[in-house]
Amino acid sequence: MENVFFALSKILGFLQFPLTWIFILLIWALFSKNTIRKIKLFKISVFLLYLISNPFLFSEFSRLWEVEAIADENVRTHKYAVVLSGMVVYDKKLDRTQFFRGGDRLIQALELYRKGKFEKFILTGGSGSLKKDDREADFMKRFLISANVPDSAIIIERESRNTYENAKFTSDILKTLKAENEEVLLITSSIHMRRSEACFLKAGIKSQVFSTDRITGIRKWDIDYLFLPEAGAIFAWNALIHETVGFVTYKIMGYC
């Protein structure tokens, strides 16, 4: 059942993207023989495109969803910090690890480690593609080793394919370490934290959450920010919708 769910989530994932909806409406309008319907569909498409490209509107919706970040000094001391993947790829041609925006998870985790906020990393993440190729936990470990973190301070979980499995397999690791009752420091992106925290709680893992790479900050009231479209907002909606749909789906499936 889990394999079917994983495959469907990947195959149908493109339907979550707002541009997909607009593209479908435009194709419908293009081939519609009803002139009135054609005009309405074009108007709806333009209106939707404006909405999803408005940075202020996106920011306000994100503000409702993101889990608030905390200051480093408010982080309690832990033995283990769990860092979720989903932000790194490996360029085989250049022999180089490349990070997406979510790479902030690993950078801030490294800073907390150096401040003595935890003793060991648990890096969780296998391959998020349908074919099991590169494992993200391996690349994350490679980066930490290059940053002079000792191998003895790094534990990797390289089989998980999604957030549910991140929590499930991390729970197995903690049981092996006789640490299933310990509170861990859970580190992931603020937009991803709500689903992550719920999955880890469902898996029986107590955690203090540490949100990274926040999307929203202090509200801006600049005229251009309020009304002018911005291409970056369109891309950002993909992540927000992916997380909200994912959270609801996980609830239905009993994953969190």
* Buried/exposed code over 50-61 (b: 16+ C-beta within 10 A; e: otherwise): eebbbbbebbeb
Tens of pLDDT, residue by residue over 107-129, are: 999 999 999 999 999 999 987 55
**pTM confidence score:** 0.88
CA distances from 181 to 170, 188, 204 (A): 13, 21, 9
Tens of pLDDT, residue by residue over 35-93, are: 999 999 999 999 999 999 999 999 999 999 999 999 999 999 999 999 999 888 878 88
Q: Is the pLDDT of residue 135 over 60?
A: yes
Domains of the chain: 2-66+230-253 (no CATH), 72-212 (3.40.50.620)
